[in-house]
Each structure stands twice: as structure tokens, then as C-alpha cells.
């Protein structure tokens, strides 16, 4: 359901103490399956799977993976079987994203581990098993962050530029939650191709460190190869910041507070793993000079709210003061 809305958010800026004009790009409203950033990637990934005559999609992620949910739902919509490898153990109660995984008819494999390396290995194992049965699996790495998946956000960046131009808004920065790097890589590649537009700042929702930046750089270069363009990447093109050192999926008091403040001030439903962490970082990024310029800031809402409706995250958010 593109283009997704872009709207000014003065109440949100006031509630978070952001002094510059703040706009929100609503990629939580991309459409099918309760939306989110993965819809843009999967449009291209599932397109490639169908072009290659695949008859089954295999992917995975954390126990409450948004990417897994949307692969299950979009796979069902185009009539292709989906196998998901999910972190942790089979739950006794079905909640949040996992409920939708099941309702969409995906075959679920529980990795009994949260380790990304274990999940990736299990995804390959499931694909090999299916291939040995004569099936034609298309493997989507966790997060859908391949150069083809990132193309969704190359297009997304041009969509945003059109909207900013139409609204007459000069935006200096686009801030968003970054994890497997595909969203950011697509946006950065789009900006390099356009030669203009807001700088991209990815808020690392895991522990931080240099890994994400390197991953985004590699992916951008691969996107240029896929597009057949000869472009180079400047050192400043890829900017990331950590989200205060809490690990992936660790709900902090700040995150829980951001979630409720966004809901009460603007009716925005965030999630505690990605979007609330990115929004939490915004005021201190502005104050600390990480967002130079005086133009507007765009917050890209990447979705993820279904995870909030799982016992795990609902209880964490309440425990950390989310209802106060």
C-alpha cells in the first residue's frame, strides 16, 4: 500500500523534546499482514523466488520475528509454502507474531536457541532437507537483508524524496531502527543514486559495535552490483549509533517509556525491540550533535507492533514502567 504516509509530528517532537521539525514516515502501514519494513524487502525477494520457479520459501528469525511473520503471510498470499525457523522453544500459548505465523499456515521449526548462527544453520538444514525431497526452496536469510531485499528500500528512498519535495520540506536526517542492515543499505544506496536527500542514521537495536556499519557498507556495494551502477561510497554515507548498550530484545525503562509517550501523545503504536528503541535515541542524538543542520528530521516507523502483543514483551514493557 505504497506510498506510505509521511506526516508532520509536532506532538511527538514536543513530547520527546526534539526542537527541530519532526516528520514520521509510516512504514508500519506498508499494508499486508500488519505492515512493517519487511514488506518492501519481500516484494523483491518473493518476486525473485517466483521468477526462479521456487516452490517453497525458507527463512527464520527471533521468536517474535516480524520478518518471519510477513514471509508467512505474503508467502500464503502468493500461494507458496513457507517454512520458518524460529528462536527458542515451541510456546505453550500462541501470541503476537507467532500467532500470525501459525494462522498464515507456515510450517514452524523451533531452533531451541536464540543464537543467530544456530538459526542460520537450521535454515540451511531445512532447505537442504526440502531439496532432498525434490522441492525447490528459496532461502531468505534472516531479516531478508540481501542486495535484492534491500532494493525495496532503494525504491523507498525515492518515494520519500518525492513526498518531501511535494510537501516542500527540507529534511536533513532520516533516523530508523537498524538490525540486519538491509533497510539502511537500501536507503543509503538510494541516497547515493539520487545524489541528494536526508542523511541516513541507523540506530543499532542490538549491542552496537562496528559490525552493523561494515555489514551495511558491504550490502550497499552489492546493491550497486545488482543495479549495474558504478558508484562509490563515501566514509560518511553510512552512519550508525548504538541504542544505549542494551542487547537485542532487551527492554529498558527508557524504551518502555518511549512506547507509552508515543502512544499517548500521537497515537503511534511502537514496538519495544525496534521502533521504540530508535525513537528513544532521537532527543539525545539531536542534543549531542549527531544530526547536524537545522532542517527537519524524519523518523522512519519500521513497524513491529505485533511483538508487543506477546506475553514476553507485554510483561516486560509493563514491568519496566510502561503503564505509569
Ligand X SMILES: Cc1ncc(COP(=O)(O)O)c(C=O)c1O
220 binds ligand X (CB under 6 A): no
Name the one range near ligand X by CB under 6 A: 6-14, 15-23, 180-188, 315-323.
Answer: 180-188
> Which residues sit opposite 300 in a β-bridge?
25
If the CB atoms of residues 183 and 255 are measured against ligand X, the closer one turns out to be: 183
Q: Name residues contacting ligand X, limited to 18-77 (CB under 6 A).
A: 36-37, 66-67
Decide if residue 173 touches ligand X (CB under 6 A).
no
Under the binding rule (CB under 6 A), the answer on residue 179 touching ligand X is yes
Residue whose cell numbers read 518502555: 256
| Closest approach of ligand X to the CB of residue 260, in Å | 18
Strand, coil or helix: what is 213?
helix
Work out which of 4, 59, 178, 241 binds ligand X, going by CB under 6 A. Answer: 178
Q: Could you tell me which stretch among 103-111, 119-127, 161-169, 298-306 binds ligand X (CB under 6 A)?
A: 298-306
Minimum distance, C-beta of residue 186 to ligand X, in the bound complex (Å): 8
List, in order, residues 6 or more apart from 317 with CB less than 8 Å away.
251, 255, 256, 259, 272, 308
Choose which of 33, 198, 304, 306 interacts with ligand X (CB under 6 A). 304
Nearer to ligand X, 96 or 130 (CB): 96
Candidates 143, 190, 198, 208; binder of ligand X (CB under 6 A) is 143
Q: Is the dihedral of CA 102, 107, 109, 114 positive or negative?
A: negative
Q: Which of 180, 213, 266, 280 binds ligand X (CB under 6 A)?
A: 180
Cell numbers given for 122: 537450521
CB nearer to ligand X: give 271 or 286: 271
Q: Which residues contact 291 (CB under 8 A, 6 or more apart)?
A: 20, 172, 173, 175, 201, 285, 297
Record the cell numbers describing residue 80, joined without a space: 507458496
Q: Pick the stretch among 49-57, 181-189, 246-254, 261-269 that binds ligand X (CB under 6 A).
A: 181-189
Q: Work out whether 145 is an interface residue with ligand X (CB under 6 A).
A: yes
- The C-alpha angle 83, 306, 281, rounded to 5 degrees, equals 115
Report in angstroms how near the CB of residue 211 gets to ligand X at its nearest.
12
| For ligand X, the closer CB: 71 or 145 | 145
Query: Which has the closest alpha carbon to 164: 134, 188, 125, 194?
Result: 194
**3-class DSSP state for residue 173?**
strand
Give the Cα-Cα-Cα angle 245, 243, 259 (nearest 5 degrees). Answer: 120
> CB nearest ligand X: which residue?
304
Measure the CA–CA gap between 306 and 313, rounded to whole angstroms: 10
Residue closer to ligand X by CB (options 59, 302) is 302
Contact region for ligand X (CB under 6 A) — 42-50, 111-119, 154-162, 301-309?
A: 301-309
Pick the closer one to ligand X by CB: 98 or 145.
145
Kindly give, in sequence order, each residue whose CB lies less than 8 Å from that of residue 54, ignoring residues fewer than 6 positions away: 80, 136, 137, 138
Please check whether residue 94 is in contact with residue 69, taking contact to mean a CB–CB distance below 8 angstroms: no
DSSP state of 79: T
Interface residue list for ligand X (CB under 6 A): 36-37, 66-67, 143, 145, 177-184, 271, 274-275, 302-304
Amino acid at each position: 500500500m505504497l506510498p506510505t504516509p509521511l506526516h508532520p509530528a509536532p506532538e511527538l517532537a514536543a513530547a520527546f523534546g526534539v526542537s527541530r521539525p519532526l516528520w514520521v514516515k509510516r512504514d508500519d502501514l506498508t499494508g499486508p499482514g500488519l505492515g512493517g519494513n519487511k514488506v518492501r524487502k519481500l516484494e523483491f525477494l518473493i518476486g525473485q523466488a517466483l521468477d526462479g520457479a521456487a516452490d517453497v520459501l525458507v527463512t527464520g528469525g527471533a521468536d517474535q520475528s516480524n520478518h518471519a511473520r510477513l514471509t508467512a503471510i505474503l508467502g500464503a498470499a502468493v500461494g507458496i509454502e513457507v517454512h520458518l525457523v524460529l528462536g527458542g522453544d515451541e510456546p505453550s500459548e500462541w501470541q503476537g507474531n507467532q500467532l500470525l505465523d501459525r494462522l498464515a499456515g507456515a510450517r514452524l521449526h523451533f531452533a531451541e536457541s536464540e543464537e543467530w548462527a544456530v538459526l542460520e544453520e537450521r535454515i540451511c538444514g531445512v532447505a537442504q532437507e526440502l531439496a532432498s525431497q525434490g522441492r525447490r526452496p528459496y532461502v531468505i536469510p534472516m531479516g531478508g537483508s540481501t542486495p535484492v531485499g534491500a532494493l525495496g528500500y532503494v525504491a523507498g528512498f525515492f518515494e520519500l524524496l518525492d513526498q518531501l519535495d511535494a510537501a516542500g520540506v527540507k529534511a536533513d536526517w532520516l533516523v530508523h531502527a537498524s538490525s540486519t542492515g538491509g533497510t539502511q543499505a537500501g536507503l543509503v544506496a538510494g541516497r547515493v543514486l539520487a545524489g541528494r536527500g536526508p542523511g541516513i542514521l541507523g540506530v543499532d537495536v542490538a549491542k552496537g559495535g562496528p559490525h552493523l556499519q561494515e555489514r551495511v557498507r558491504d550490502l550497499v556495494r552489492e546493491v550497486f552490483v545488482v543495479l549495474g551502477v558504478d558508484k562509490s561510497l563515501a566514509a560518511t554515507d553510512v552512519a550508525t549509533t548504538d541504542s544505549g548498550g542494551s542487547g537485542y530484545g532487551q527492554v529498558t525503562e527508557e524504551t518502555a517509556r518511549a512506547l507509552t509517550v508515543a502512544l499517548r501523545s500521537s497515537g503511534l503504536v511502537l514496538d519495544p525491540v525496534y521502533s521504540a528503541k530508535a525513537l528513544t535515541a532521537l532527543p539525545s542524538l539531536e542534543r549531542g550533535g549527531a544530526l547536524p543542520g537545522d532542517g527537519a528530521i524524519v523518523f522512519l516507523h519500521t513497524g513491529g507492533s505485533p511483538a508487543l502483543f506477546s506475553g514476553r514483551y507485554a510483561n516486560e514493557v509493563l514491568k519496566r514502567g510502561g503503564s505509569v
